[in-house]
Structure 1
Amino acid sequence: MRYPLGENEKDSIRSKTGKSLSQITLEEIKKGNVTADDIKISKEMLHKQGEVAKEAGNPKLADNFLRASEMVDVPDEVLLEMYNKLRPNRSTKLELVMMAKELTETYKAYHCAKLVLEAAEIYEKRGILL
């Protein structure tokens, strides 16, 4: 992938619905041919961004893109619930474990679940669980 992506990869960048970036124009928006889902990033693009980060020697950023790619298929309400549960002193360890289980079993978001479980362990050590 060549940066800047918006200039060099316009036809290979795909939204969640499969539209290419070159198909998402102001004119198409005015015609009503672009929906809110058309401007959401796809799992594949997040994976590609992660590959770029990894190749650039930034494995932590690559991991973030991998988790983000899993979140594409997780409903917004669940993401907000996860965000709130991960705030210090907002959850019990069991609640975080159950959140990780839901992420794994329902959404196949294994890397996100791993992060939630790691947070539960750290929060327990720091005394910031309910």
Structure 2
Amino acid sequence: MMVRYPLGANEADSITSRTGKKLSEITLDEIKKGNIHPDDIKISKEMLSKQGEVARQNDNPAMAANFQRASELVDVPDDVILEMYNKLRPNRSTKLELVQMAQELLDKYGAVNCARLVMEAAEIYEKRGILL
């Protein structure tokens, strides 16, 4: 699938927010009329996937992987993401806590790539001695 960059200029009719509102429908006039709400401007999995496709097309697999993980986090509640951030800081978690967090990401949210990243972090933290 070829995606035209910049997405906002070239894909505005095909990009939707988390609520399904098209990017082309999110205008200053619509905001002034009260037709755009905060959830209407939250990014969607689709948008993050398209950004990842642009990265892949431009031979940037690391950036593509980041966008893939970000797309998985769209459905994860903010408090869970903040907890994950804190647990991933060095010397803040046990290996078991990180394994349990990875399992929750996988089982509850289907965040396969994020769970894999947490497991990789647990292994690296263990080797470096930066677990509780």
Q: What is the TM-score with the length of structure 1 in the denominator?
A: 0.95
Stretches of structure 2 that go unaligned for 5 or more consecutive residues are none
Q: Who is 1:13 aligned against?
A: 15
Distance in structure 2 (CA, Å) of the matches to 1:96 and 1:122 = 12
Q: Who is 2:65 aligned against?
A: 63
Q: What is the TM-score with the length of structure 2 in the denominator?
A: 0.94
Q: Which residues in structure 2 correspond to 1:91-130 (within 5 Å)?
A: 91-130=93-132
| CA deviation string 1:32-64 (max 9, x = no partner) | 211111111111111111111111111111111
The reply on whether 1:37 has 2:42 as its aligned counterpart is no
Stretches of structure 1 that go unaligned for 5 or more consecutive residues are none
> Would you say how many aligned residue pairs link Structure 1 and Structure 2?
130
The reply on whether 1:3 has 2:5 as its aligned counterpart is yes
Matched residue SS, 2:119: helix
Matched residue SS, 2:51: helix
Matched residue SS, 2:67: helix
Q: Who is 1:86 aligned against?
A: 88
AA paired with 1:32? G
AA paired with 1:14? T
Distance in structure 1 (CA, Å) of the matches to 2:130 and 2:68 = 27
AA paired with 2:29? E
Identity fraction in percent:
75
AA paired with 1:53? A
AA paired with 1:99? M
